[in-house]
Structure 1
């Protein structure tokens, strides 16, 4: 967080300098600002990538350690079951990279790592029906931030075409605005029923 405010301070300082300079120098300072913002964004993505790799390696190491432990105890069947679960998990995650834009694959990887960090298992379903869009990704990111704060163990994201539904099974009873409390937990859908009705009426 400290680094964030330092970068904001640098941007403000460059903005003040740009405002006080004459026109020929303003373009030069503006170019510096653009390059600085680009480097800032690249640094953020590199840090996210390192975080994702670290979390995935940590999880894989834990699962392989479990398999090794069962083998050392002579429980071959248990080891085979653990290995089979690992293979199923990896196979299901391979769908994140099939026929999806790269920013969507990155979204799945990032949120899987964030869930791993918080001890929350995120289950993704309906990926075969997913019709990705930038707007949908932006709204999904916002809702996932809300959901990950509430979740204690598991949450499910179910895709259906151009929409999705998030269910947090073990969320507290106090829920954020827009979420509903049902028998299967706290849930939210997008597009909401009201938005869907408005969209249908506009088409008619």
Structure 2
């Protein structure tokens, strides 16, 4: 077997080998396009949507890309962990009721819509678990600690932990989002700390694009 026949066999071997060097493949006149993971751009867009306050768009994007996200208990993939974080924070800020019915197919919606009190609680609880895992993987990250504190503040059984976590971060000026300062203001109002409420609300107003959500009444509800 000589000449063109030998070259043909060699080229077929390169095609079937996943480890074929690109230069060898090019010698056969074959060009391989690198695989593109569109989820990289998708997660980046979800993160931007979350920063812009577009909770449904952010959450819907993650659910479409990772439909089994609720069943995944642990992962070290940085991209998936970024997706975990986006979905968890979005669910918390939506108080467990994500209006994503227009964003995801019905078969993927599950409990994310938060149509019942049980579903809303389940979504907040999932968010807390996800953010705890991320905090365990990346110790002493003020941004992740901020997100966890905001999530804990949504669950009455975790308010004491949230107040301490966010209070410690505020003392060091490490709270990373206006939403977390608003959560701290609510917690302090509930505990009867009027001065603390006002301090946290003021810091929220400095950071927020729309400061209307920053202040709560001393009873813990929206200010009139």
TM-score (structure 2 length as normaliser): 0.27
TM-score, length-normalised on structure 1?
A: 0.29
Answer with 1 or 2: which has the greater Rg: 2
